[in-house]
Amino acid sequence: MLNVIPAPLCAKEREGKVSFGNRIKISGAFENTASYAKKMLACIEGGDDSKMVFIQDDSITKEGYRLCVDKGKITVFASDETGAFYALMTLAQLSGGESSVPCCEIEDKPRYAFRGFMLDSARHFWSVETVKRYIDLMARLKMNEFHFHLSDDQGWRAEIKKYPLLTEKGSIRRNTQLALYGYNTGKEEHDDKEYGRGYYYTQEQLRDIVAFAAERHIEVIPEIDMPGHMVAAIACYPNLSCRGEAIEVSTRWGVMDNILCCGKEGVYEFAKDIIDELCDIFPGRFFHIGGDEVPKKRWKECPLCQAKIKKEGLKDENALQGYFNNEMAKYLKIKGKRMIGWNEILDAQDIMDTDIVAQWWVNHSAGNFQEKKWMSRGGKIVMSPLSYVYMNHPFHLRPLKKTYSTDERLLGKDAGQGILGLEIPQWTEYIRSEKKLDMLTIPRLITFSEVCWTAQERKDYADFENRLENSRGYFDLTGCPVCPQYLYRGKVKPWYAVTNALKQALWYKDVDYEWKIMKDRL
């Protein structure tokens, strides 16, 4: 099999090689991709040792391509720029960073339309350069949705001009929880250092990231998590919460009782103001409103929330979240956006617009009743099943093989039509360095690209692992090194066995163990 990840639909290797050095003449359709190719292959204009021709062929499906590498000539057929671009990405992998590629013929197209990666920049902040490095890797892997988790209890990371405190104050926390080590004693460890001063993206930087991604056919989906996970914002503007009391940006991880008060009109205005500014920066089709882990404790005690429930004729507090979701979805629709939220938004699905997309991350009870019902009503799901794809967990618990086995049938044998696509998230509570981020993320993102792109009948884990091993040099050259095989196979044994997958404390201890063993070898 040719060394390409994700595996193409159909690939035939032929005798011989085409050497293109830096004397290749690029011509034909798809101006943007052709000029990207010139940059990428660093060609000398006018050189004609070999030729690369882009041809428009409307019989090819959207994002698909045909790539023919013959002696002296490389031909790319596609119906859109994205398909042509993906042919170029395949070519880059085939070259392995060298100046020749094997003669071959490849026909290819994606399995799913939505192929996502999420990065949490709220818990720990990642520089513009790091974000771009990951976006570039995504493009090379033919992934197309970068979900940018920009706010959470522990930090607000996107400049909002109307609410300057969000980044001036909301980006900073007094200290950081290191790990929930003492699950026997209940004691937490914290460092004693302020974190986050200046750690936010200016609107100019966000626009720059969006442009960088667009050049690589990637849409950036901003996430502002609401009405829960809002402590950093409430610390700046206490009136957003039910009690209106002064609180600090959270220094602990987990789920917080303090959430937005959905009984106050001002909260809806605040959320819409944020949406206004971000929609101006992010031109894509989707906007993520989070919606996960929303304890209803405060709402139950709040006269304003209770009055809102009564006024709108809502059944209960879940329905109040559903009402809030609908208000946001309606507003986003006016702006031409489709709303996405984590699967908890389905708790009030009976009153929700099925144009909203639900991102499935954790099992609802009763065999995913809510997700199945949503799909049967015509609603769409993006799959991020925690026990297959969460990258903040140790390889010991989640080796690549497990991630590779992620399948739409986890949501029932007939789930297909309801699945818009898949996304692999990286949460960074316990990831404090870029090398640790790389260790946990790069091999899994590469693996997941094949889950998103490659037709079911073409998937083969053993073959994937061979291609991954043979592509190490290529990923090194792109600045995205893959950790050793014995780590991604989960062979670095922790000093105890995890017996209960719910003991998150142990997961993070295992990650730390793997990191301790590996960090000097990466």
* CA–CA dist 440, 492 (Å, integer): 13
Q: Report the 10 Å Cβ neighbour count for 497.
A: 9
Residue 72 or 266 with smaller CB distance to Zn ion:
266
Smallest gap from Cβ 313 to Zn ion, in A, equals 18
Smallest gap from Cβ 296 to Zn ion, in A, equals 10
Residue 57 or 292 with smaller CB distance to ligand ACM:
292
The residue of the chain with the least Cβ separation from ligand ACM equals 292
**Which residue from 9, 138, 115, 6 is spatially nearest to 420, judged by alpha carbons?**
115
Three-state SS at 355: coil
In the list ligand ACM, Zn ion, none, the entry touching 361 (Cβ below 5 to 8 angstroms by class) is: ligand ACM
Residue 282 or 342 with smaller CB distance to ligand ACM:
342
The residues, any chain, with a CB within 8 Å of residue 499's CB and separated by 6 or more, are none
Strands 177-179 and 189-190: antiparallel
Smallest gap from Cβ 413 to ligand ACM, in A, equals 25
Determine if 148 is a binding residue for ligand ACM (CB under 6 A). Answer: no
Residue 304 or 455 with smaller CB distance to Zn ion:
304
Q: Report the 10 Å Cβ neighbour count for 405.
A: 13
Out of 215, 273, 292, 316, the residue judged to bind ligand ACM by CB under 6 A: 292
Three-state SS at 409: helix
**Which residue from 60, 61, 59, 41 is spatially nearest to 51, judged by alpha carbons?**
41
In the list ligand ACM, Zn ion, none, the entry touching 141 (Cβ below 5 to 8 angstroms by class) is: none
Smallest gap from Cβ 332 to Zn ion, in A, equals 23
In the list Zn ion, ligand ACM, none, the entry touching 242 (Cβ below 5 to 8 angstroms by class) is: Zn ion
**Which residue from 290, 284, 350 is spatially nearest to 315, judged by alpha carbons?**
350
Residue 293 or 460 with smaller CB distance to ligand ACM:
293
In the list Zn ion, ligand ACM, none, the entry touching 342 (Cβ below 5 to 8 angstroms by class) is: ligand ACM
Determine if 263 is a binding residue for Zn ion (CB under 5 A). Answer: yes
Site mask for Zn ion (CB under 5 A), range 285-324, x = bound: -----------------x-xx-------------------
Phi/psi at 375 (5° precision) = -65, -35
Smallest gap from Cβ 128 to Zn ion, in A, equals 37
Residue 254 or 473 with smaller CB distance to ligand ACM:
254
Q: Report the 10 Å Cβ neighbour count for 354.
A: 13
* CA–CA dist 22, 435 (Å, integer): 33
Determine if 293 is a binding residue for ligand ACM (CB under 6 A). Answer: yes
In the list ligand ACM, Zn ion, none, the entry touching 302 (Cβ below 5 to 8 angstroms by class) is: Zn ion
Phi/psi at 380 (5° precision) = -110, 150
Smallest gap from Cβ 382 to ligand ACM, in A, equals 12
How far apart are the two ends of the chain, measured CA to CA in Å? 28
Phi/psi at 225 (5° precision) = -80, 120
Angle at 283 (CA atoms; ends 340, 148), nearest 5 degrees: 50
In the range 259-288, which residues lie near ligand ACM by CB under 6 A?
Answer: none
Out of 36, 163, 324, 342, the residue judged to bind ligand ACM by CB under 6 A: 342
Smallest gap from Cβ 517 to ligand ACM, in A, equals 26
Tell me if 229 sits within 8 A of 152, measured CB to CB: yes
Beta partners for residue 381, in sequence order: 358, 419
In the range 135-154, which residues lie near Zn ion by CB under 5 A?
Answer: none
* CA–CA dist 230, 103 (Å, integer): 54
Out of 92, 137, 213, 242, the residue judged to bind Zn ion by CB under 5 A: 242
Could you give the count of Cα atoms lying within 13 Å of 451 in the half-sphere of its Cβ? 28
Determine if 163 is a binding residue for ligand ACM (CB under 6 A). Answer: no
Residue 82 or 321 with smaller CB distance to Zn ion:
321
Determine if 364 is a binding residue for ligand ACM (CB under 6 A). Answer: no
Determine if 261 is a binding residue for Zn ion (CB under 5 A). Answer: yes
Three-state SS at 353: coil
The residues, any chain, with a CB within 8 Å of residue 330's CB and separated by 6 or more, are 353
Determine if 361 is a binding residue for ligand ACM (CB under 6 A). Answer: yes
**Which residue from 101, 98, 85, 95 is spatially nearest to 140, judged by alpha carbons?**
85
Residue 218 or 314 with smaller CB distance to Zn ion:
314
Residues within the interface to Zn ion (CB under 5 A): 242, 261, 263, 302, 304-305
Residues within the interface to ligand ACM (CB under 6 A): 292-293, 342, 361
